[in-house]
């Protein structure tokens, strides 16, 4: 029995050591829990492997360029909430058409879209198109 426990313990150490080796990892931490959630959501969306432990997001050094890109995105995030589902879907479809990255988030106070426009002009144009859509379809009262 003790031999089986020893083998199990050895295997678990080997598996744990495969993910993030000493000297091969970087870590990120923010005092803002929402920022950490958004950071992990973008890591997941981009299929970047990481571990969350003891309040830190740990990732391998070789993905540092992608992580820096995410840090840059999070520094100029736009968030918007449309309560009307049709308006929200229209806006997200516009973002897809324009190739704008976004996250669809469900929070306690409803559905939010966190997005990263390529420019101020694009931000204004997409927002305006969405408001025009809502008015054309008489959905503006429910926005």
Report which DSSP code applies to 87.
H
Residues 70 and 118 in one domain: no
The model carries a pTM of: 0.69
Quick check: is 103 in a domain?
A: yes
Q: Based on the structure, what is the number of domains in the chain? A: 2
Residues 66 and 98 in one domain: no
* Cα 62 → chain centroid: 19
Tell me the residue range of the domain where 57 lies.
Answer: 20-74
Quick check: is 2 in a domain?
A: no
Residues 47 and 99 in one domain: no
Residues 35 and 88 in one domain: no
User: How many other CB atoms sit within 10 Å of the CB of residue 127?
Assistant: 15
pLDDT in tens, the chain (143 residues): 444 444 444 344 333 333 444 568 888 888 888 889 999 999 999 999 999 988 899 999 999 999 999 998 888 889 999 989 999 999 999 999 999 999 998 888 999 999 999 999 999 999 999 999 999 888 766 65
């Amino acid at each position: 029995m003790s031999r089986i426990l020893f083998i199990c313990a050895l295997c678990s150490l080997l598996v744990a050591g495969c993910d993030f080796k000493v000297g091969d990892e970087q870590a990120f931490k923010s005092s803002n829990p929402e920022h950490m959630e958004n950071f992990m959501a973008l890591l997941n969306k981009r299929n970047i492997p990481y571990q969350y432990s003891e309040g830190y997001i740990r990732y391998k050094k070789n993905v540092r360029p992608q992580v820096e890109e995410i840090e840059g995105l999070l520094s100029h995030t736009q968030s918007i909430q449309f309560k009307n589902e049709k308006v929200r879907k229209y806006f997200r479809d516009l973002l897809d058409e324009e190739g704008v990255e976004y996250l669809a988030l469900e929070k306690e106070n409803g559905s939010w879209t966190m997005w990263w426009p390529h420019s101020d002009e694009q931000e204004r144009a997409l927002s305006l198109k969405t408001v025009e859509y809502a008015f054309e379809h008489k959905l503006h009262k429910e926005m």
